[in-house]
Amino acid sequence: MNTHGYRFVGATAVMIDSHTELVGSGPNASAELVVRDGIVQEHARGDEIEVDATGCVITAGLVNAHHHLLQSAFRTLPGTRSVPMHVWLPTMAAAYARVGVDAELADAAASVAVAEGLLCGVTTVADHHLTWPADGDDAALAGATAAAARRLGGRLAFVRGSARDDPQRAAAGAEAVVASLLGGSDAVAGVSADGMLQVAVGPAGVHSDSRETFELLSEVAARYGLRRRTQANEQVDVAIALERYGRRPIDLLDEWGWLASDVTLAHLCDVSPAEIARAAARGVTATHAPGCDVPMGWGVAPVAELADAGVVVGLGTSGGGSNDAGHLLADARLAMQVSGLRGPALSARQVLGMATEGSARGLGRPELGHLRVGAAADLCVWDVSGVADAGVDDAIAGLLWAAPGRRPRDVFVAGRRVVEDGALVGADERAIAEDLRALLASRRAATK
């Protein structure tokens, strides 16, 4: 049986991208989608497996452009909610130290986070990993994270980050991660041949890392064609930059060579019109993370202003240490709801576009985040036939406006079904959760 070709029939609507959708006309009409050999096709061949999508909306798989997978092991910790960043950072660091960060923990935490994402429709996640023990094995830790994603069938962009690391150590670690994850493969521009794994680099921000760190990681990126990512213009970032350098983060990033078309800046809660214009002129992309920034009281990024200036904006959840969930669609709903606080309100389609193609463009992945012919066959089937969607006039807009905890019925990555009827395919959600719980309990008990 051909398990790599599917014809989705009976859908209420298929959202091709934020500007294009397929809808049926007439009382019994429906939209169809064909995928084969891991990509979206124009026509059916005849041997595809038929998937009944009656009463469903189909979208591209969501792309979480900013996560910290390790933090899924450190959710709802006392002293980590609605506090200043200078309080939050040492509290999290103490929690890491108590448990111990290594490959075993990275595997367990990433398994939980990637599984959670897939169950919520996230087919690609960017993991900005910032916690590197001085005596740790960078390649082993990164490899464990990548192995977890691959077991579950999700795409991973692993970002070798840095948070106050020695600059030389950070650069050497990035080299080790590239060699471990991509060495010996036919990787192009930091992406594996099958497209399931990507490597990037990214200091935590100018509040944390020196100019030397930024420059050395840029050299690694240039050597291997990697994307670059960092966090900018949060409260602490602006305050420390002004105190330490007498300048704002965007000024420093520009001077250090980090305002460029291969760079994505996360958060951007506190940016001026002039800084937005400068970022747009350099081709920088951005990632909005309201599920972190809003509940922590760190602000709301001016998304409409960024987009109007020509900045491509994606969407991320950030990590469990500041956003206890990896539910990107819920954060897309929040982004839509709070958008009017910082400019013109964003429509559901605009925000869905951010959560899909906007995020993918920031990763330099033109094949992801949409369902145009030739795209990677990453998609979600959302059942909109229940009471939460009763009375909804626009089924696509209803994905955000209705049912805040919505999860997809089915999820496909590279043309393979990884979630079916709301459950993981080939993995036990409860066993994954219990593995992390048991590991954390054992380690915490050992430190008492």
Both structure tokens of 399 = 């994905």
Residue-range definition of the domain harbouring residue 240: 62-362
Neighbours of 121 (CB within 10 A): 30
Residues 358 and 382 reside in one and the same domain: no
Instruction: Give the pLDDT confidence score for residue 208 in this predicted structure.
Output: 94
CA distance 175 to 173: 5
pLDDT tens-digit readout, 308-319:
999 999 999 999
* 168 Cα distance to chain centroid: 27
Residues 12 and 24 reside in one and the same domain: yes
Instruction: Give the pLDDT confidence score for residue 26 in this predicted structure.
Output: 45
Helices 167-182, 211-224: inter-axial angle, 10-degree rounding: 20
pTM of this structure: 0.97
Both structure tokens of 417 = 């079904």
Q: Is residue 444 domain-resident?
A: no
Q: Is residue 268 domain-resident?
A: yes
Going 256 to 259 to 260 to 264, the CA torsion angle's sign is: positive
104 — phi, psi (to 5°)?
A: -65, -45
CA distance 63 to 42: 23
- How are beta strands 379-383 and 313-315 bridged, if at all? unpaired
Q: Is residue 141 domain-resident?
A: yes
At position 102, the amino acid (one-letter code) is D
Tell me, what CATH number does 120's domain have? 3.20.20.140
Residues 325 and 295 reside in one and the same domain: yes
Residues 193 and 212 reside in one and the same domain: yes
139 — phi, psi (to 5°)?
A: -65, -40
Residues 240 and 336 reside in one and the same domain: yes
According to DSSP, the residues that pair with 84 across neighbouring strands are: none
Check: CB of residue 57 under 8 Å from CB of residue 382: yes
Q: Is residue 121 domain-resident?
A: yes
CA distance 358 to 267: 15
Count Cα neighbours of 106 within 13 Å in the Cβ-side half-sphere. Answer: 24
Among 339, 362, 385, residue at a domain's last position: 362
Residues 140 and 247 reside in one and the same domain: yes
Tell me, what CATH number does 46's domain have? 2.30.40.10
Among 346, 362, 378, residue at a domain's last position: 362
Residues 307 and 375 reside in one and the same domain: no
Q: Is residue 446 domain-resident?
A: no
Q: Is residue 447 domain-resident?
A: no
Quote the radius of gyration of the chain (alpha carbons, Å). 21
* 299 Cα distance to chain centroid: 20
Residues 354 and 405 reside in one and the same domain: no
Looking at the 3D structure of the chain, how many domains does it have? 2
Three-state SS letters, the chain: CCCCEEEEEEECEEEEECCEEEECCCCCCCEEEEEECCEEECCCCCCCEEEECECEEEEECEEEEEECHHHHHCCCCCCCCCCCHHHHHHHHHHHHHHHCCCHHHHHHHHHHHHHHHHHCCEEEEEEEECCCCCCCCHHHHHHHHHHHHHHHCCEEEEEEEECCCCHHHHHHHHHHHHHHHHCCCCCECCECCCCCEEEEEEECCCCCCCHHHHHHHHHHHHHHCCEEEEEECCHHHHHHHHHHHCCCHHHHHHHCCCCCCCEEEEECCCCCHHHHHHHHHHCCEEEECHHHHCCCCCCCCCHHHHHHHCCCEEECCCCCCCCCCCCHHHHHHHHHHHHHHHCCCCCHHHHHHHHHHHHHHHCCCCCCCCCCCCCECCEEEEECCCHHHCCCCCHHHHHHHCCCCCCCCEEEECCEEEEECCEECCCCHHHHHHHHHHHHHHHHHHCC
Residues 192 and 249 reside in one and the same domain: yes
Sheet holding 5-11, edge to edge: 39-41, 31-36, 5-11, 49-52
Check: CB of residue 242 under 8 Å from CB of residue 228: no
Residues 32 and 102 reside in one and the same domain: no
Q: Is residue 432 domain-resident?
A: no
Q: Is residue 429 domain-resident?
A: no
Residues 54 and 180 reside in one and the same domain: no
Residues with Cβ within 8 Å of 261's Cβ and at least 6 positions away in sequence, in order, are: 282, 283, 284, 285
Instruction: Give the pLDDT confidence score for residue 396 in this predicted structure.
Output: 97
At position 202, the amino acid (one-letter code) is G
Instruction: Give the pLDDT confidence score for residue 448 in this predicted structure.
Output: 72
- Identify the segments of the chain with pLDDT beneath 50: 1-2, 25-27
Instruction: Give the pLDDT confidence score for residue 31 in this predicted structure.
Output: 81
Among 336, 362, 388, residue at a domain's last position: 362
Sheet holding 13-17, edge to edge: 20-23, 13-17, 56-60, 379-383, 410-413, 416-420, 423-424
Residues 45 and 113 reside in one and the same domain: no
CA distance 41 to 45: 9
CA distance 416 to 39: 10
